[in-house]
Amino acid sequence: MSFRFQLSMVSSCALGLTRLIVITGLSVLDLEQGIMQIIVYSESVHIFLTEDDTYKWANKKDAKWPCSTLSGRTLLANYDRHGLTDMLVKGGEEETVEDVDINELDAIIMDVLKERSGPDHPCYDVCIGQFLNGKQ
Where are the domains positioned within the chain? 37-131
At 104 the pLDDT is 93
At 68 the pLDDT is 93
User: Do residues 1 and 43 touch, judged by C-beta distance below 8 A?
Assistant: yes
Calculate mean pLDDT across residues 112-125: 87
At 1 the pLDDT is 32
pLDDT digits (tens, 9 = 90+) for 62-112: 888 889 999 999 999 999 999 999 988 888 666 666 788 999 999 999 999
Q: Which residues does 71 contact at the CB level (< 8 Å), separation at least 6?
A: 54, 55, 57, 58, 59, 65
Q: pTM higher than 0.85 for the full model?
A: no
Pick 83 or 37 by higher pLDDT.
83
Instruction: Collect contacts of 128-132 with beta carbons under 8 A, ≥24 apart.
Output: 131/106, 131/107
